Chain A
């Protein structure tokens, strides 16, 4: 016996198969960010000076490069998930909602790519 509704059978679309993914991803990225941002805040305090040479050589260290890559990508991912909910809540028009969500995704992808490239560029010392 199937529990599917008659309408569901006719439409044949099935579930979105995403379930709680968005909710869970938001939580997992939140926990990761709590740890990564604590590292970042502690590093900022520890650095003391924010001169070019000091910050550049700090970020070029392998551990800092990797943690900064993780911080930037997870923060931007978490931001995208959060803004998506806000847009879904407050933008009512379906077409506008799709357009804004797409724009939000593009901007976040651009930010993530920019951040990742900048961090790697510092690490590989293309410009000093």
Chain B
């Protein structure tokens, strides 16, 4: 029986051999965006902690809520909350993209690349618009 390592002497050691499909991926933005959907999903899981804290503080009365307002006013937490809002809008648009893909549509290279750009830029626009409305609304009430 022939041993598996007996390759023909004419084949150079560094010859281009077929790769398993999972090794064929090059780092493209469509792939980065797919990864970003997972990353933002995980970020939102962490964000859920802040969301639940906010609800619990609200249920614990005015004093506890005032403490949570102090917590949310911290610059680092503010940055986090803005990042979570971006994660939300990206995950929302990325999720819609996935739902459309699940119907078998939009999988072609060009439409997948286009929807990727729409999701990425759209989430930045939506985040900016959301915070504009939040801040604008606050000023309107004051």
A residues within 8 Å of B by Cβ? 27, 30-31, 33-34, 37, 41, 44-50, 52, 55-56, 59, 68, 72, 75-76, 79, 82-83, 86, 111, 114-115, 117-119, 121-122, 126-128
Contact = CB atoms under 8 A, between A and B. Distances in A.
B49 interface: yes
Given A48-B138, A52-B65, A72 B41 contact: no
Interface of B: 38, 41-42, 44-45, 48-49, 51-52, 55-56, 58-62, 65-66, 69, 88, 92, 95-96, 98-99, 102, 130, 133-134, 137-138, 140-141
29 contacts: A27-B102, A30-B95, A30-B98, A31-B99, A34-B92, A34-B95, A37-B88, A37-B92, A45-B130, A45-B133, A45-B134, A48-B137, A52-B62, A55-B65, A56-B65, A72-B52, A79-B44, A79-B45, A79-B48, A82-B42, A86-B38, A111-B49, A114-B52, A115-B51, A115-B56, A118-B60, A119-B55, A121-B59, A122-B58
A33 B48 CA distance: 13
Nearest to A53: B62
Contacts of A126: 59
